[in-house]
Amino acid sequence: MKGDIGVIGLAVMGQNLILNMNDHGYKVVAHNRTAEKVDEFLQGPAKGTNIVGAYSLQELVDKLESPRKIMLMVRAGDVVDSFTDKLVPLLDKGDIIIDGGNTNFPDTNRRVAALKEKGIHFIGSGVSGGEEGARFGPSIMPGGSPEAWPFVKPIFQAISAKTENNEPCCDWVGNDGAGHFVKMVHNGIEYGDMQLITEAYQFMKDGLGMTHDEMQSVFIEWNKTELNSYLVEITSDILGYKDTDGEPLVEKILDTAGQKGTGKWTGINALDMGIPLTLITESVFARCLSSLKDQRVEAEELFGKKKSIVEGDKQVWIEALRQALLASKIISYAQGFMLMREASNENGWDLNYGNVALMWRGGCIIRSAFLSNIRDAYDIDPELSFLGSDSYFKGILENSTSAWRKVAAKSMEVGIPMPSMTSALTFLDGYTTARLPANLLQAQRDYFGAHTYERVDKPKGEFFHTNWTGKGGDVSSTTYNS
Ligand code: NBP
């Protein structure tokens, strides 16, 4: 009997996805560049299963049922192109290559188009959930050649995570690089959620002077509220974890954050598309700032920075912090969905936002109860332009604003950096202000560069230039927005 699917790449993600597929009754053919890893896998974790090995791409192709489905779980970038180039001459028209790595979506756009010309289908799929997700149920976000989806759907939906209503956290996202785009935004949101949690932790630790056991209890309590999520849950575990000397391990970890690029890509795309994705982008910058450790150590001394304690009822502050965290999280998701909406419009992807929320509901790092409410919001209004306008989320934002402002103001007063919580509040203030000072900005642009402006008392699209000094000419610059 031939294999149902081939998987190339036997590192942590590939091995665990293969074992997951095997558990669901699929026969998987496994291949890896370094052939010894095939043997190690077959004699190790895959021993006693239906998994078979292939030591060359030709062998892999020969062992698969048609149309062939070959999933790459390898390092993103050139390695995907290299395997694709080698596979194409061995495949038949209608066969399917799937890239399950963390690929930048323009690469997937390119690959889908290039392979279409050769009659090969290409799927670019985000896979989230890390090692455990891959083994027992990841969130899977596939996009690319729609003709390929019916062949891949049964396997992907079988191995994916399920919601509490047993719905698979995997559905077709859209054409071209839509799946990888949505996975990129997922990772951006992950950056935002993590940063928000760390800001709450620093406020509790440095501002309120709380112990790690106290902070752990707070996160355990928060996990019983609307903040219920995987990241809040693991934070409570981390805060309670003691090193061999009985001290909290977290305080022994160097405070420089790493990053692999998906948050940065999300920010770059937001800038490209003109979407104010402030919270996620601040979270990326916060990681950049954290990496300037030596400079920060010097600067703290240079400025003689003193830690100030936050005065007042601790329990009142903790509840205010919870509300600030929740409200900021709503803004982060609202901005992320704005970005996806713009990308969907620009690329003709016709994204289903309720489905995206459902795919993130289980299996992935940002899984949370809150995503069910997001799905409900898009079920009510699939074209919702700002998540915060949905009645459920609007209610939370309105109820939290006072506490959120107190936390933001206090953090500024005592010098605790909270870039994401404060920028989220600033975004909401800007978004809910009918008249911003951009009129003055347009005047400045026109003053120095004859960039022209529109007037509130004339129809939109009519542009004016004023000779502000009486010295310049009347010629204006061409009007366009980049
Ligand atoms: P890695 O990203 O570490 O990739 C390892 C695989 O790539 C191995 O099979 C390795 O073969 C192969 N490879 C490399 Br590296 N360079 C190669 C080359 N020049 N030619 C051929 N093969 C090459 O594995 P991973 O952590 O399992 O991740 C796989 C994909 O899934 C990545 O795109 C990753 O970003 C994504 N992802 C990872 C996670 C996670 O939690 N780790 C989560 C979600 C998505 P070799 O054995 O011969 O070196």
Kindly give the confidence (pLDDT) of every residue in the chain, 482 residues in length, as a single tens digit, with 9 standing for 90 and above: 999 999 999 999 999 999 999 999 999 999 999 999 999 999 999 999 999 999 999 999 999 999 999 999 999 999 999 999 999 999 999 999 999 999 999 999 999 999 999 999 999 999 999 999 999 999 999 999 999 999 999 999 999 999 989 999 999 999 999 999 999 999 999 999 999 999 999 999 999 999 999 999 999 999 999 999 999 999 999 999 999 999 999 999 999 999 988 999 999 999 999 999 999 999 999 999 999 999 999 999 999 998 889 999 999 999 999 999 999 999 999 999 999 999 999 999 999 999 999 999 999 999 999 999 999 999 999 999 999 999 999 999 999 999 999 999 999 999 999 999 999 999 999 999 999 999 999 999 999 999 999 999 999 999 999 999 988 777 888 777 76
- CB distance 106 to 184 below 8 Å: no
Cβ of 34 closer than 6 Å to ligand 1, yes or no, is yes
Pocket test for ligand 1, best of 8, 10, 13 (most atoms within 8 A of CB): 13
Exactly one of 27, 69, 183, 329 is catalytic; which is it?
183
- Name the DSSP class of 463: -
Ligand 1 atom nearest 9 alpha carbon: 9
Token readout for 42 is 């077959």
Closest CA to 200 of 458, 403, 437: 403
CA of 11 to the centre of ligand 1 (A): 6
> On the CB side of 129, how many CA atoms lie within 13 Å of its CA?
32
Atom index in ligand 1 nearest the CA of residue 131 equals 41
Q: Given this model, what pLDDT does residue 248 score?
A: 98
Q: What is the pLDDT of residue 308?
A: 86
Instruction: Please name the residue whose Cα sits nearest to atom 17 of ligand 1.
Output: 79
Picking from 139, 138, 123, the residue whose alpha carbon sits closest to that of residue 177 is 123
Nearest alpha carbon, ligand 1 atom 14? 75
Q: Which atom of ligand 1 is nearest to the CA of 11?
A: 27
d(CA 128, CA 130): 6
Catalytic choice (190, 199, 226, 282): 190
Which residues, including other chains, have CB under 8 Å from residue 201's CB and lie 6 or more apart? 215, 235, 239
- Ligand 1 lined by 79 (C-beta under 6 Å): yes
**Which ligand 1 atom lies nearest to the CA of residue 260?**
35
> φ and ψ at 3, to 5 degrees?
-80, 150
Ligand 1 in reach of 101 Cβ (< 6 A): yes
CA-proximal residue: ligand 1, atom 36 (nearest): 101
Q: Minimal CA–CA distance to 371: which of 215, 231, 267, 184?
A: 231
> Which residue CA neighbors atom 22 of ligand 1 most closely?
33
* Residue 288 CB–ligand 1 contact under 6 Å: no
141 Cβ below 6 A of ligand 1: no
